[in-house]
Amino acid sequence: MRFRTRTAEVIINLDGCVAPDCGFACVKACRLYGRNILKIEDGKPALAVSPQEAVRIDNECLACEIYCQWYGSGVIEVRVPMEVV
Ligand code: SF4
């Protein structure tokens, strides 16, 4: 699954997701450091808000990606396009 934020794109490869073995680290990280836009649905992480709302409220803290690397299977990628000026 993927969704956009104000300046980035978050991609979660659900095929490689090891939930619940990771304790849903990304969802917890979003509650702790982000804006609580992730939820658990059918045993996997899912958007808790509409894609439009995610663009508006996501604070781009990157905690989901880091926590998935630390406690999960490293299947979250936050892509931030870099512009060379
Ligand atoms: S932290 Fe990674 S492995 Fe765990 S639920 Fe989130 S995406 Fe899946």
State pLDDT tens for residues 10-68: 999 999 999 999 999 999 999 999 999 999 999 999 999 999 999 999 999 999 999 99
State which residues form the domain around 43: 2-79
State whether the beta carbon of 38 lies less than 6 angstroms from ligand 1. Answer: no
Could you tell me if residue 57 is inside a domain? yes
Cα 55 to its chain centre, rounded Å, is 12
Q: CA 33, CA 28: separation in Å to the nearest integer?
A: 9
Q: Does the Cβ of 14 fall within 6 Å of ligand 1?
A: no
pLDDT the model gives residue 84: 80
**Residue 30 domain-assigned (yes or no):** yes
Domain harbouring 57, CATH code:
3.30.70
Residue closest by Cα to atom 5 of ligand 1: 24
| Residue 85 resides in a domain | no
What atom of ligand 1 comes closest to residue 67's alpha carbon? 1
Structurally, the chain folds into a number of domains equal to 1
Please report the atom of ligand 1 found closest to the CA of residue 22. 4
